[in-house]
């Protein structure tokens, strides 16, 4: 409904709006790491109508609806994220030379009140779109002949990761047996970044006082170190991205001694479509190769644009196939059991990545975490632990360091496993292994123990395998007859390695 004020303006040209809001307004919220979360309102007012943009660090909305009256104004912003529209609403009023505004991060979250001040015109403007390169094939970097193994900060620490936590993880993993069984990369996810210096070099925020010293520390433990960035101007958490600085950032990573890059789409969505992402991933693939340092390249774009079809061609060693995992049975199984059809795209050097492990983060039972570890191993998925390695129970450590299960994950043929049967909540998956062996996962997704049977003929075998090993019980099995039946705990797994 139009306000009285709007009606007066339209009919009688009587202006009764709060004031002219035209201009650039900024709210700068300091974060504990020395960086800022900024909100820029770039407004243009014509009578009661307000147009323009709202930029909240990594989000960039075009104003699509507005109202204005003596009580104040409202704005609705819209942005596209792939094919999804995201909307935001602001309400506010001019108080002296301050703009008092309120918004919600999500429709159901609390109202956040902010005070914006006038900023020089153009400050905080979203960067222009840079032209995209022609598509070509980036050479294979020769890394990740088996799925990458290591640890990543995001699942447990999110924005709280700092230098001390990374050192502590390296200490723990070098001494608790994880390094011995193959965990190698210690990966810093989002929130290490600050802005750029006068030369345009990326800088670290106060949580990471000296990245080179940190890399040296991790290397001295016999481990490798990874970092994170985005092809967009900002990362998913709103920190500085590599947009327009790809080669420069790759050189910085190499100079610091970085061994792994996770490159996360989020911030680029305001400038490019999903169909254009291949070109942006190629830019960083080229830049990493050009440094001459072996840097494992992990694409994080949530499985959009059929990344498995082109991930290897941009130099990617792994690509996310889904949205973010959470530490719940539902999230882990929805992701893990949906990977069957992607199997043909996995190969040495290039892996489907159903996201990082949640094992040990507390949201699932030990049986459920065994299912997580078994499934990720059959899927030839990267094994990036996501827990706090300093406080790990013996049971969780045993799950993460089960050498027999890890050997399946790391099988040198690099063939991803597939589902061979499904009956209600019970599924059997197999993975072909080098030397003609096979891994078998008998998964019970149901809430009660269930008997699961695998027929040797389903595995293409005429008779029972002569050798069989239960990889969680660590015991040999004697098999005969035409099938194998076992009672599998609720949400649990029995995992075998069999050979003729
Ligand atoms: C995205 C990624 C996550 C994590 C966060 C960091 O959501 O999918 O894995 O890297 O960004 O902001």
pLDDT 10s digits, 57-90: 999 999 999 999 888 999 999 999 888 999 999 9
* Predicted local confidence at residue 17, as pLDDT: 53
What is the biggest distance separating any 2 CA atoms in the chain, rounded to whole angstroms?
Answer: 94
Residue whose CA is at the smallest distance from ligand 1 atom 1: 236
Distance from the CA of 230 to the center of ligand 1, in angstroms? 10
| Mutational test site, ligand 1, from 153, 188, 190, 318, max ligand atoms within 8 Å of CB | 190
Q: What is the pLDDT of residues 133-151, one digit of tens each?
A: 999 999 999 999 999 999 9
What's the pLDDT tens digit per position in 381-434?
999 999 999 999 999 999 999 999 999 999 999 999 999 999 999 999 999 999
Residue 6 confidence class, pLDDT cut points 50, 70, 90:
low
Query: Ligand 1 atom closest to Cα of 324?
Result: 8
Nearest ligand 1 atom to the CA of 323 is: 8
Output the pLDDT for position 161.
98
Q: Does 9 score more than 70 pLDDT? A: no
Q: Is 282 helix (H, G, I), strand (E, B) or coil?
A: helix
Residues assigned a catalytic role: 264, 324
**Cβ-proximal residues to 150 (8 Å cutoff; 6+ apart), any chain:** 183, 184, 185, 186, 187, 223, 224, 226, 260, 383, 384, 385
Task: Report the pLDDT value the prediction gives residue 10, as an integer from 0 to 100.
Answer: 53
**Ligand 1 pocket, residues with Cβ under 6 angstroms:** 154, 189-190, 235-237, 264, 300, 324
What is the residue with the minimal CA distance to atom 6 of ligand 1? 190
- Listed in sequence order, the DSSP H helices in 99-232 are 154-157, 163-175, 211-220
Of the two residues 105 and 138, the one the predictor is more confident about is 138
Nearest CA to ligand 1 atom 3: 324
Q: 15-31 burial, b if ≥16 CB within 10 A, otherwise e?
A: ebbbeebebbbbbeeee
pLDDT tens digits, 154-213: 999 999 999 999 999 999 999 999 999 999 999 999 999 999 999 999 999 999 999 999
CA-based torsion, 174, 179, 183, 185: positive or negative: positive
Residues 67, 48 contacting (CB under 8 angstroms): yes
- How remote is the CA of residue 120 from the centroid of ligand 1, in Å? 32
Among 264, 355, 356, 386, residue to substitute to test ligand 1 (most atoms within 8 Å of Cβ): 264
Residue in the block written with tokens 């059997």 = 428
CB of 307 closer than 8 Å to CB of 315: no
pLDDT of residue 448: 98
State in Å: Cα 433 to ligand 1 middle: 32
């Amino acid at each position: 409904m139009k306000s009285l004020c709007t009606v007066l303006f339209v009919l009688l040209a009587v202006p009764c709006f709060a004031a002219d809001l035209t201009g650039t307004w900024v709210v700068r919220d300091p974060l504990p790491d020395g960086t800022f979360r900024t909100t820029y309102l770039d407004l243009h007012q014509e009578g009661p109508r307000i147009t323009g943009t709202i930029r909240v660090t990594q989000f960039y909305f075009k104003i699509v609806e507005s109202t204005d009256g003596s009580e104040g104004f409202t704005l609705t912003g819209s942005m596209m994220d792939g094919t999804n529209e995201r909307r935001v609403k602001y309400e506010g009023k001019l108080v002296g030379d301050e703009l008092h505004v309120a918004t919600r991060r999500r429709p159901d979250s609390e109202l956040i009140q902010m005070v914006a001040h006038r900023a020089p015109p153009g400050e905080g403007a979203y960067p222009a779109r840079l032209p995209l390169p022609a598509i070509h094939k980036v050479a294979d970097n020769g890394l990740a002949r088996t799925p990458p193994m290591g640890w990543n900060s995001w699942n447990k620490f999110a924005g709280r990761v700092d230098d001390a936590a990374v050192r502590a993880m390296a200490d723990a993993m070098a001494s608790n047996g994880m390094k011995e069984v193959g965990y190698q990369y210690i990966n810093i996810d989002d929130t290490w970044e600050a802005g750029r210096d006068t030369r345009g070099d990326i800088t670290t925020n106060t949580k990471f006082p000296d990245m080179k010293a940190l890399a040296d520390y991790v290397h001295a433990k016999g481990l490798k170190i990874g970092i994170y960035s985005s092809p967009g101007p900002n990362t998913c958490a709103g920190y500085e991205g590599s947009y327009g600085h790809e080669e420069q950032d790759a050189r910085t990573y190499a100079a610091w001694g970085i061994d792994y890059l996770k490159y996360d789409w989020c911030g680029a969505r305001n400038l490019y479509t999903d169909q254009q992402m291949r070109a942006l991933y190629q830019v960083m693939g080229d830049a990493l190769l050009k440094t001459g340092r072996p840097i494992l390249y992990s694409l994080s774009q949530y499985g959009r644009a059929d990344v498995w079809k082109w991930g290897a061609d941009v130099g990617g060693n792994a690509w996310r196939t889904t949205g973010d995992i959470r530490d719940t049975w539902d999230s882990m199984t929805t992701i893990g059991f949906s990977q069957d059809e992607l199997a043909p795209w996995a190969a040495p050097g290039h892996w489907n990545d159903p996201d990082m492990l949640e094992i040990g983060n507390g949201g699932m039972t030990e049986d459920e975490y065994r299912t997580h570890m078994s499934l990720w191993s059959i899927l030839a998925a990267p094994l990036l632990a996501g827990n706090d390695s300093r406080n790990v129970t013996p049971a969780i450590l045993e799950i993460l360091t089960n050498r027999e299960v890890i050997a399946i994950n790391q099988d040198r043929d690099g063939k991803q496993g597939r589902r061979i049967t499904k009956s209600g909540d019970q599924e059997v998956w197999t993975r072909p292994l080098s030397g003609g062996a096979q891994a078998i996962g008998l998964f019970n997704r149901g809430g009660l123990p269930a008997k699961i049977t695998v027929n040797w003929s389903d595995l293409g075998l005429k008779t029972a395998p002569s050798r069989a090993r239960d990889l969680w019980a660590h015991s040999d099995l004697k098999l005969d007859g035409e099938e194998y039946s076992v009672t599998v705990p609720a949400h649990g797994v029995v995992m075998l390695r069999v050979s003729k």
